[in-house]
Amino acid sequence: LSLDSALPDRTTIMNFRHLLEQHQLARQLFKTINRWLAEAGVMMTQGTLVDATIIEAPSSTKNKEQQRDPEMHQTKKGNQWHFGMKAHIGVDAKSGLTHSLV
């Protein structure tokens, strides 16, 4: 993607997340990225900023067994309710690079 490209919609992101989980690639992907960051000398050595964001999902999303994803929940932000999951993101305070995602 370029900076001018349209961002993927939430269904695309959720499908990608499920593919990573299905093939157990998320942890391996992050380890590889962190290794590249360390080799480039920009890996976190001290100081972490942590933030959370809501990844919304369609409330009618069900899996093959016609059940909702157990990781999806309702949460309230301000006065508005959201359905989805929270992503917690760890960022190196010095470089601004993401080093963990849960």
Mean pLDDT within 4-33: 88
Highest average pLDDT, of 14-23, 40-49, 55-64, comes from: 14-23
* pLDDT for position 94: 80
In contact, 30 and 100? CB cutoff 8 Å: yes
* pLDDT for position 25: 92
What's the chain's length in residues? 102
Segment (H or E) for 27:
helix 26-39
Give bridge partners of residue 55 from the DSSP assignment. Answer: 85
Side chain identity at residue 72, one-letter code: M
Chain Cα centroid distance, residue 49? 16
Secondary structure class of 38 (helix, strand, coil): helix
In contact, 21 and 13? CB cutoff 8 Å: no
Report the predicted TM-score, pTM, of the whole model to 2 decimal places. Answer: 0.42
In this prediction, what percent of the chain has a pLDDT beyond 90? 6
